[in-house]
Structure 1
Amino acid sequence: MIKLFASDLDGTLLNAFHNVDRTIARAIREVTDAGAHVVIATGRTMLSNREHGFDGLPVEICGSNGAIVVGREGILKTFPVSPELLELLVPAFPGICFDCVLLDGTYATGSRELRDRSFDADPPLRRIALRGMREAMAATMHFDTPLSYLLEHEVYKVNCRVPDRALGEELEAFVAEHADLVVNAPFSPVMFELTDPAVNKGASVAWLARHFGYTEDEVAVYGDGGNDIAMLERFRHAYATVNGSSAAKAAAGHVIGHCALHAVPRHMVATVRAQRHRAAYTRIE
């Protein structure tokens, strides 16, 4: 039986507008009322189940690509990046605004104007779809953060957008050269999502399953992009949305419907109902 359902957010659990709606909320409640766990496995920073539209829904979180694991009552485990990485990375790329995730907020190394320019190359429809999320994130961020401040605190994830191809290749080379300090698992080609090399969604979901006493065969996972690959490859019950990348579909081996049609919440509910039906049938026998 599946006892833990872990899903990415954008392009997977959320609807086409990157929101939680009533269908998604009802599905989470039905699954958790049945005794299973719903885990948000996301690249976003999520420190409680009252963020990003979940409004207190009974979920656990593997946020920041798995660097911060959060239970319903608070943080369970964290995986910080090495200070050595920050000492090397930030001075080497002064033209990039790095968003550094701490437990009390996100601290950007550059100005808001520098960060906003990294979105200018997005297609118009994507800029519209993500405008609300961008503005909400920027409203809570701290800009022009000195490196000295970051080195005094634990940083769990470093994000940046690099639409300039040449600059992106330089950063890719840096990551490859320092593979002992950092791994990059982005959801889009222009994104860099940097964590400790031991961190990924799959490892954190597996840690959380063990925390609850479940085996990995009792876990189902859902994803659509690059930062989901490790998670989709790790678990036998792995599903990619049809709108997902080719790599995600190949890693999962199972493809379900489109996020806009609530494929993931519907699949979770169908799985729970099928399990309940089998259990009732077994009792009758």
Structure 2
Amino acid sequence: MIKLFASDLDGTLLNYFHHADRVVRAAVREVIASGAHMVLATGRTSHSGASHGFGNLPLEIVGSNGAIIRDAHGTVLKSFVIDQVLVEDLLRTFPMIVFECVAAEGSYITGSFDEWMAGFSGKNALSRAAMMRRNRKRAVSDPTLVLSQTVDQVLEHDICKLNCRTRDEGLKRELSAYLADHADTLVNEPFQPVMFEISSAGVNKGAALAWLAAHLGIAEDEVAVYGDGGNDIAMLERFAHAYAPSNANAAAKRAAGTVIGSNVAYAVPRHMVRTVRAQQGRYVVE
């Protein structure tokens, strides 16, 4: 019996346009109506499901790659803070890189909007323009996103995750080397290689989800997980009921063991609904 469903968002639960449309929302509502928990397991900075198109549905969140765990009301249950000395050293060592410094209460950007966006590059001009619009809207409407922060201002907060992108290959190599030298205290688990998503060593979606399941009184073999990227691997490897959509990268597919259809065809929400209905004796999971 699966009592908790946990899914990554982009390329997994959400549709091709990275939205929770009516098909996705209907599936999530059916999961919750069955009595199971629904968890958004994401690298994104998430305060509630509403920001992803789920409205007021009661969703637990394993956010920031497991660094911040929230209950269905958005209250922080647990967070994993990076040592402040490490945060300061990293920011001062790489002043030319704009970091998004994520705390439970908000995100603090060490640069202006244009400086922050300079690190983003889409596959084409259209996708980059869409990303610019999305992030500009967030910068205007999201009070938890604060731009142009100094290192001292960042250090006023308990930072759980550091995100950055740089198009400078030299800086990428230097930052990668820095993280390799600090592998005993820091981990980089990006969704894609073009990004850096840095948290304390040992923090990942798998460990955080296991903590949440235990907190809810749910055994690990009563959990089903879905993911498609590098930051999902620890979660996919940990749980027996693990699934990757066919559009997932090769490492995620290997970690999951079971590959279902593409997120373009709503493979994950459909699989969750089939599982719930099979448990209710309505029909067998394909």
Asked if the contact 2:38/2:60 (under 8 Å) is kept, the reply is: yes
Query: Which one of 252, 259, 274 corresponds to residue 255 of structure 1?
Result: 259
Asked if the contact 1:17/1:129 (under 8 Å) is kept, the reply is: no
Query: What SS does the corresponding residue of 1:51 show, helix, strand or coil?
Result: helix
Asked if the contact 2:117/2:132 (under 8 Å) is kept, the reply is: no
Residue-by-residue CA offset, 1:172-212 (whole Å, 9 max, x unaligned): 11111111221110011110001111210001111111011
More moved, 186-195 vs 140-149: 140-149
More moved, 269-278 vs 28-37: 269-278
Name the CA distance, whole Å, in 2 between partners of 1:264 and 1:270: 10
- Per the TM alignment, residue 65 of structure 1 is displaced from its structure 2 partner at its CA by 0.6
Q: Does 1:197 align with 2:201?
A: yes
Aligned-pair identity (%): 54
Superposed, which structure 2 residues align to 1:101-250 within 5 Å? 101-120=102-121, 122-139=123-140, 140=142, 141-250=145-254
Please tell me the residue identity of whatever aligns with 1:185: E
Structure 1 stretches (4+) deviating beyond 3 angstroms?
Answer: 128-133
Output the aligned Cα RMSD: 1.8
Which ranges in structure 2 are unaligned for 5 or more consecutive residues?
A: none
Alignment CA distance shift 1:132-1:121 (3 Å): closer
- How many residue pairs match? The answer is 280
Superposed, which structure 2 residues align to 1:246-285 within 5 Å? 246-277=250-281
Query: Corresponding residue for 2:95?
Result: 94
Query: What SS does the corresponding residue of 2:280 show, helix, strand or coil?
Result: helix
Asked if the contact 1:29/1:58 (under 8 Å) is kept, the reply is: no
Name the CA distance, whole Å, in 1 between partners of 2:70 and 2:277: 27
Query: Corresponding residue for 2:7?
Result: 7
- Per the TM alignment, residue 47 of structure 1 is displaced from its structure 2 partner at its CA by 1.3
Query: What SS does the corresponding residue of 1:186 show, helix, strand or coil?
Result: coil
- Per the TM alignment, residue 72 of structure 1 is displaced from its structure 2 partner at its CA by 1.3
- Per the TM alignment, residue 131 of structure 1 is displaced from its structure 2 partner at its CA by 4.1
Query: What SS does the corresponding residue of 1:277 show, helix, strand or coil?
Result: coil
Query: What SS does the corresponding residue of 1:239 show, helix, strand or coil?
Result: strand
Residue-by-residue CA offset, 1:32-85 (whole Å, 9 max, x unaligned): 110101100000111123222111112110001111111112221111111011
More moved, 21-30 vs 73-82: 73-82
Query: Corresponding residue for 2:82?
Result: 81
- Per the TM alignment, residue 128 of structure 1 is displaced from its structure 2 partner at its CA by 4.6
Residue-by-residue CA offset, 1:9-54 (whole Å, 9 max, x unaligned): 0000000000010011110110111010110000011112322211
Query: Corresponding residue for 2:28?
Result: 28
- Per the TM alignment, residue 220 of structure 1 is displaced from its structure 2 partner at its CA by 0.6
Query: Corresponding residue for 1:283?
Result: none
Name the CA distance, whole Å, in 2 between partners of 1:111 and 1:71: 32
Asked if the contact 1:121/1:163 (under 8 Å) is kept, the reply is: no
Name the CA distance, whole Å, in 1 between partners of 2:174 and 2:94: 9
- Per the TM alignment, residue 121 of structure 1 is displaced from its structure 2 partner at its CA by 6.0
Asked if the contact 2:76/2:104 (under 8 Å) is kept, the reply is: no
Please tell me the residue identity of whatever aligns with 2:45: T
Name the CA distance, whole Å, in 2 between partners of 1:19 and 1:133: 12
More moved, 115-124 vs 244-253: 115-124
Name the CA distance, whole Å, in 2 between partners of 1:11 and 1:163: 23
TM norm structure 1: 0.93
Which ranges in structure 1 are unaligned for 5 or more consecutive residues?
A: 280-285
Query: What SS does the corresponding residue of 1:198 show, helix, strand or coil?
Result: coil
Asked if the contact 2:163/2:198 (under 8 Å) is kept, the reply is: yes
